[in-house]
Amino acid sequence: MTTGTVPTVKYFEDFVVGQERTHEGSYTLTEAEIREVGERWDPQPFHVDPVAAEASLFGGLVASSVHLFAILTAIGRAQPLEHRVAAVSALGFDKLRNHAPARPGDELRSRIKVLEARASKSRPEVGVVRNSADLFNQHGDIVFSWEAAYLVQRRPEPLAVRSRSDR
pLDDT of amino acid 158:
78
The architecture (CATH level 2) of 12-165 comes to: Roll (3.10)
Residues 26-54 as b/e (b if ≥16 CB within 10 A, e otherwise) read ebebeeeebbebbeeeeeebbbbbeeebe
Question: What is the pLDDT at residue 55?
Answer: 97
Residue closest to 12 by CA, chosen among 157, 167, 155: 155
Instruction: Per residue of the chain (167 residues), give pLDDT as tens.
Output: 444 555 578 899 999 999 999 988 899 999 999 999 999 999 999 999 999 999 999 999 999 999 999 999 999 877 666 668 888 999 999 999 999 999 999 999 999 999 999 999 999 999 999 999 999 999 999 999 999 999 999 998 876 555 555 55
Contact 136, 111 (CB under 8 A): yes
Please state, in angstroms and rounded to a whole number, the distance separating the CA atoms of residues 131 and 116: 7
> Closest Cα to residue 74, out of 29, 15, 42?
29
Element (H, E) at 52: helix 50-54
d(CA 130, CA 142): 20
**Dihedral of the alpha carbons of 64, 67, 73, 79, in degrees to the nearest 10:** -120
Query: pTM for this structure?
Result: 0.85
